[in-house]
């Protein structure tokens, strides 16, 4: 099965802001409220530094 790219909703561990991000990122994704890193690029799927609350198809 091929891994699909999709959007996921994550919650910042510091300020509880919820934000929809892509699960493949080419740059660090930061929380738009507090600036905490939510996801890091790995070359494949993003390494998540935050809690996934939902997957968006």
Chain positions contacting Zn ion, by CB under 5 A? 12, 14-15, 17, 31, 33-34, 36
Q: Minimal distance in Å, beta carbon 57 to Zn ion?
A: 25
Q: Which is nearer to Zn ion, 13 or 24 (CB)?
A: 13
Q: Is 10 helix (H, G, I), strand (E, B) or coil?
A: strand
Residues 20, 56: contact at Cβ < 8 Å? yes
Ligand-binding annotation for 22, yes or no, is no
Any long-range contacts for 22-26 (C-beta under 8 Å, 24+ apart)? 22/46
Instruction: Answer yes or no: is 31 a known binding residue.
Output: yes
Binding positions for Zn(2+): 12, 15, 31, 34
């Amino acid at each position: 099965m091929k891994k699909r790219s999709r959007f996921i909703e994550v919650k910042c561990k510091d300020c509880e802001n919820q934000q929809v991000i892509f699960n493949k990122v080419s740059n660090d994704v930061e929380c738009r409220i507090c600036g905490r890193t939510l996801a890091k690029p790995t070359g494949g799927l993003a390494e998540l530094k935050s809690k996934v609350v939902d997957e968006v198809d």
